[in-house]
Chains A and B, each alone.
Chain A
Amino acid sequence: MSSISILEERQAQIHTKGTAPFNMSCDKKSLAGSVSQRACVFCGSRVVLYPIADALHLIHGPIGCASYTWDIRGSLSSGPELHRMSFSTDLQERDIIFGGEKKLYASLVSLIDKYSPKAAFVYATCIVGLIGDDIDSICRKVAKEKGIPVLPVHSEGFKGTKKDGYKAACDAMANLVGTGAIEGIRPTSINIMGEFNIAGEAWTIREYYERMGLDVVSVFTGDGRVENIKRSHGAALNVVQCSGSMMHLAQHMKAKYGIPFKRVSYFGIEDMSKALYDVAEFFQKDYPEVMEKTQTLVREEVKAIYPILKRYKERLKGKKAAIYVGGAFKAFSMIKALRSLGMDVVLAGSQTGTDEDYQVLREMCDDGTVIVDDANPLELSKYSIEKGVSLFVGGVKERPMAFKLGIGFCDHNHERKLSLAGYSGMLNFAKEVYASVTSPVWQFAPYGKR
């Protein structure tokens, strides 16, 4: 095999800590032909809004866009499951020529009649942006006729990257926020943002907050309900995880409703505990009992899992890991969580990290760690092999690469069906990492045990 060389234009997006002054290039358009692992704008919008379970999600475009995002997340609902349907206007060649507005209108009306959703999101795909369908006016018209919010999501693919899709989703939700009654919401209420209830994670987190004596008005968007989003401006604080996707809405709510926000992560004992303490601290002045409850909660939870984690740590100590995730904030938590299991992170990167993110990442990493932005399978495999990792934490796109190379793989993306958030999630994560790294099957890999 010829050795893997890095494209010249990509070199500024790869950095080995300790070798040179840190000047990471990031937050830019992917290089054509570099085989970026990023998804499109539409996909960004779709993954953010998908968990809103009582809304109709109608994709205005050809069937491929809808098929591609059908039932893609492991986001659970405690009630309605309309979100698991991927409705599409299934645009055909003649619609491209004559326009798709009539079809959109007819689809919306018939689907709303059939499924009685609490709101409808209409996603604009590339082609809709090109043929110039006025989806805003169709949405307004149907909203008026049917008496429910019908919200356009401007997620045309050519507008940018997945991140722009997050923003388009936030813009659509911003139209719902503030339209519901906020009577009865206690001053000790929060919104959970950027938590998508994968495998019930939002339920776990919500329970923690409730044990702290807080109320949760709305979860954005895990197990989401339109009614809760409408009244979410009644909360005292927005607690934002996965800040890449939700920061825009949090900032909007701060500007418009004066609701402050905190950035958190629920992965790993350290970040999980910090999240709860940060929130408790926010309420400290007026509700000091929240902090007391939080301390008890953290103590109990950590005590329950610590001895088990310690056993895993003994087996995992000194193993090397690679991390490649969508948002950089998750990478920070992963580094801490893997370190708490005794592992060394030797390759870390994200699809959509910012300058600030990479500064933080660099500070967290050990010397020699390779840091990558918007990487591709060639780069990821090159450094995984060079660094001799025995675990790769990433999304499903990285799984085949890892398995082919005889590297244990842990899915930390939205398709997974395993809860990894909170204390119980950390235990699941440890178990998953342990299974991935120490399975006896790797002894047969041609490369040998890593």
Chain B
Amino acid sequence: MFGGGANLKLAVSNIIKQYQPALIGVGTTCLSETIGDDVPLILREYILKNHDPEGPAVVSVSTPSYSGTHIDGFHGAIRATVDALAKKENPDAGGINLFPGMLSPADYRHYKEILSDFGARYQMLPDYSQTLDGPMWTEYQKIPAGGTPIKEIVAMGDASGSIELGRVLAKTKSAGKLLADKFAIPCHSIGLPIGIKETDLFFDRISAITGKPMPEKYVQERSRLIDAYADGHKYVFEARAVVYGEEDLVIGMASFLSEIGVVPALCASGGKSGHLKAMLRDVIDDFDAKGITVMEGVDFVEIGEAAKKAHADFFIGNSKGYKIAREMKKPLIRIGFPIHDRMGGARIVHIGYRGAQQLFDCITNTIIQCRQDASPIGYTYM
């Protein structure tokens, strides 16, 4: 009735007392948005009243549940953080800003490894590679170690280029575009680097910004991957997949599946950017000839119904699709987030040549296992 301002200020004050954070992020809910709380104003009032130069930075992002999906909140929070913190202080500093997309902690570690191997200076936001997949503690950690240091977010204003990953993200007012508008930092918008083609684009962009060629280690990884594609191509050829998840993940995965000969027969997402089909057409050769069904803004009931018509051999997506895969007695290859019914979701590498290698082995072996199990002979070689 009287607005949530007092509660929000009390919460911020208690969080400072208990956690002594360097930054507080505030997300809104449908409730606070609809009662008309001006959250940025409330926070400004708080900061003015409790003037403390040593106090935490406060970043707010509008995230009412009735507009968009979780991925909009994810990218919105990144953009809001960059908007609040990034500054142009040292134009000669250079470096790459990386906006990695919503992937696993292992993916984040791999991104950092790649950029380090290029000898590149970089800032990656977010970076939950350690906070969501870190060691045990000896004492309770109020704020777990890891994450992007604030000074690196500030330094994003000095970078010589940004790379943001996600073809749908490219169509939005992303953090990368914000930095381009604010500080004239060139923004390279490409797809999530899943599979050889999309990963090649990623390496090209890093080479373009750093002026350095692909490190030998990745040349080797890429070569071994192509060799593996040759070894396994027959098993997966024209297998039919149902791919679901965030739009950018679906696009990346569909691109990878297509390049190994799998037909992503049904591509479905809860997101509804309006771009999914066009983007899939960009990454899938002979898109129209393959009769691919694309669904935006759908739920698992709708995906399940469409999957039956798609004559799928396997599902690929998060663990939420298990029910429909089980109903159709088809294997589910777990990728993305969340994976609540298997160990090791945090350790799945989707990106880079290494990620493609793991995915290729996993998909091929799943198909081989289905054939092996279905065979009455019980071959020990397939």
Interface residues of A (CB under 8 A from B): 1-2, 4-5, 7, 9, 31-35, 61-65, 85, 91-93, 95-96, 125-127, 130-131, 157-158, 377-378, 381-382, 385, 401, 403-406, 445-447
Contact with A along B1-34 (1 / 0, CB 8 A): 0000001101111110110100000000111001
The 8 closest A-B pairs by CB, nearest first: A33-B14, A33-B11, A62-B65, A381-B140, A32-B11, A64-B65, A62-B66, A32-B10
Contact of B18 among A61, A378, A401 (CB under 8 A): A378
Q: Which B residues, 39 to 72, have Cβ-Cβ distances below 8 Å to chain A?
A: 64-67, 69
Contact indicator A157/B31 (Cβ below 8 Å):
yes
A9 to B14, CA, bound (A): 10
Q: Which B residues, 330 to 361, have Cβ-Cβ distances below 8 Å to chain A?
A: none
Extra A-B contacts (4), CB below 8 Å, given A7-B18, A9-B14: A33-B12, A61-B30, A64-B65, A96-B66
Contact of A34 among B14, B20, B69 (CB under 8 A): B14
B15 to A, closest residue via Cβ: A33
Contact indicator A4/B66 (Cβ below 8 Å):
no
CB distance from A237 to the nearest CB of B (A): 38
Q: What are 26 A-B pairs at a CB distance below 8 A?
A: A1-B140, A2-B20, A4-B142, A5-B17, A7-B14, A32-B8, A32-B11, A33-B15, A34-B14, A62-B64, A65-B65, A85-B301, A91-B66, A92-B66, A93-B66, A95-B66, A96-B30, A125-B30, A127-B34, A127-B65, A130-B31, A378-B18, A382-B140, A385-B140, A446-B136, A446-B138
A300 to B136, CA, bound (A): 44
Interface residues of B (CB under 8 A from A): 7-8, 10-15, 17-18, 20, 29-31, 34-35, 64-67, 69, 135-142, 301
A379 to B, closest residue via Cβ: B18
A446 to B8, CA, bound (A): 37
Please judge, given known A-B contacts A4-B140, A378-B140, A405-B137, whether A33 and B67 are in contact too, CB under 8 Å. no
Please judge, given known A-B contacts A7-B17, A31-B14, whether A406 and B136 are in contact too, CB under 8 Å. yes
A331 to B235, CA, bound (A): 55
Contact indicator A446/B34 (Cβ below 8 Å):
no
Contact indicator A446/B137 (Cβ below 8 Å):
yes
CB distance from B174 to the nearest CB of A (A): 21
Please judge, given known A-B contacts A127-B34, A130-B34, whether A446 and B135 are in contact too, CB under 8 Å. yes
A401 to B11, CA, bound (A): 22
**Which residues from A are CB-within-8-Å of B69?**
63
CB distance from A314 to the nearest CB of B (A): 28
A157 to B35, CA, bound (A): 13
Chain A CB within 10 A, most for which of B14, B17, B135, B140? B140
**Which residues from B are CB-within-8-Å of A32?**
7-8, 10-11, 14
A31 to B15, CA, bound (A): 11
**Which residues from B are CB-within-8-Å of A93?**
64, 66-67
Please judge, given known A-B contacts A34-B18, A62-B30, whether A1 and B66 are in contact too, CB under 8 Å. no
A415 to B, closest residue via Cβ: B340
A384 to B35, CA, bound (A): 40
A406 to B138, CA, bound (A): 8
A9 to B10, CA, bound (A): 11
Contact indicator B11/A127 (Cβ below 8 Å):
no
Contact indicator B20/A404 (Cβ below 8 Å):
no
**Which residues from B are CB-within-8-Å of A127?**
30-31, 34, 65-66
Contact indicator A92/B136 (Cβ below 8 Å):
no
A446 to B, closest residue via Cβ: B138
Please judge, given known A-B contacts A33-B14, A62-B66, A92-B67, whether A447 and B140 are in contact too, CB under 8 Å. no
CB distance from B210 to the nearest CB of A (A): 37
Contact of A403 among B10, B18, B136, B140 (CB under 8 A): B136
CB distance from A415 to the nearest CB of B (A): 10
Chain A CB within 10 A, most for which of B11, B12, B20? B11
Please judge, given known A-B contacts A127-B30, A405-B136, A445-B136, whether A63 and B65 are in contact too, CB under 8 Å. yes
CB distance from B296 to the nearest CB of A (A): 14
A67 to B184, CA, bound (A): 40
A125 to B8, CA, bound (A): 21
A29 to B, closest residue via Cβ: B7
A7 to B10, CA, bound (A): 12
Contact indicator A33/B13 (Cβ below 8 Å):
yes
A404 to B137, CA, bound (A): 6
Chain B CB within 10 A, most for which of A5, A33, A35, A61? A33
CB distance from A450 to the nearest CB of B (A): 11
A447 to B, closest residue via Cβ: B138
Contact of A401 among B7, B67, B135, B140 (CB under 8 A): B140
Contact indicator A131/B34 (Cβ below 8 Å):
yes
A157 to B17, CA, bound (A): 27
Contact indicator A405/B18 (Cβ below 8 Å):
no
**Which residues from A are CB-within-8-Å of B30?**
61-62, 64, 96, 125-127
Contact indicator A404/B29 (Cβ below 8 Å):
no
**Which residues from B are CB-within-8-Å of A377?**
140
